[in-house]
Structure 1
């Protein structure tokens, strides 16, 4: 007789394991622990809602290392006067190459509106670590939607109160302008 499998989702996660990972077909606790570069015992002890770590199913949700809950979407709000419809989001999730990544997507006017600039940069600033960024690329619409992904080194973890920003820059001179859009990543700001 067929038995219905219920997806197991933790009600809460421990402070250093606020990330969420959804089990995929073929996953085991062992390969998930390797993916996150942690000891198998640490993964087991931080997921008490899985009574037998040798039996997991696609769709089960595990608590994984992370100091903020993710996936997480943060709204980027204007810091300066901008045209109607200008805005963006930063999406924090696992990087396809391991670790964490921040994807930026924003509807913005041409960078020349803010001065002698020809590109936009999306950046994340992590307290006590520093900043990481990448150039945004536009779609053909007018105004365009600009996007990029910033992959963080696997030794870096996003912490509460990290800032995500977009600002214009000049690709020839290397001079950047002030922040146009900004958001702050913390537990209360994450929209899942």
Structure 2
């Protein structure tokens, strides 16, 4: 029977499910946290030397993970335009935001040839990446933004998908966006 915490401390709101071969040391390295801090914030694991696949650990994070944020349309957009941002742990440690949206061609909004997915973290700055379309019409555009381990997603971070012109460097309007609030993670 997996051991699951009833709740996590404020700075350890993220959750990680133990995989076969995981150790407290490896998990502490993955999340860039001291092993002592990981152990003290997981009192439901009585012996940190014994982990079982399926155990759930509280890990550093100021918002619960995984977290899905609906992105709201901004201004006039075609019917069916919308998106989501999925916040989780990055495959190599740290945090990541995956953006996915059904959007018209960027040219619908003017002289733009691509979209970018961006997260803006208060007092830190923005991180973004080019989005790529699927072949459907209209396409689903997606990308993943992996944050540097020194950055942490916090409340009031803004998630946005904007148009961009890769030839001129001009950033266009925000098409969909969302703000991470205390109750916005689903």
- Shorter-chain TM band: over 0.9
**C-alpha contact (below 8 Å) 1:22/1:59 kept by paired residues:** yes
Q: CA deviation at 1:97?
A: 2.0
**C-alpha contact (below 8 Å) 2:156/2:179 kept by paired residues:** yes
Q: Paired residue for 2:37?
A: 42
Q: TM-score of the superposition, structure 2-length normalised?
A: 0.97
Q: CA deviation at 1:185?
A: 1.5
| Unmatched segments (≥5 aa) in structure 1 | 1-5
Aligned structure 1 segments of 4 or more residues deviating by more than 4 angstroms: none
Of the three residues 86, 89, 106, the one matched with 1:91 is 86
**C-alpha contact (below 8 Å) 2:4/2:44 kept by paired residues:** yes
Q: Paired residue for 1:3?
A: none
SS at match of 2:172: coil
Q: CA deviation at 1:44?
A: 0.6
Of the three residues 89, 97, 106, the one matched with 1:111 is 106
Q: CA deviation at 1:51?
A: 1.7
Q: Paired residue for 1:121?
A: 116
Q: Paired residue for 1:133?
A: 128
Distance 1:98 1:67 in 2: 15
Query: How many residue pairs are counted as aligned between the two chains?
Result: 186
| Unmatched segments (≥5 aa) in structure 2 | none
Q: Paired residue for 1:57?
A: 52
> What is the root-mean-square deviation in Å for CA atoms of aligned residues?
0.9
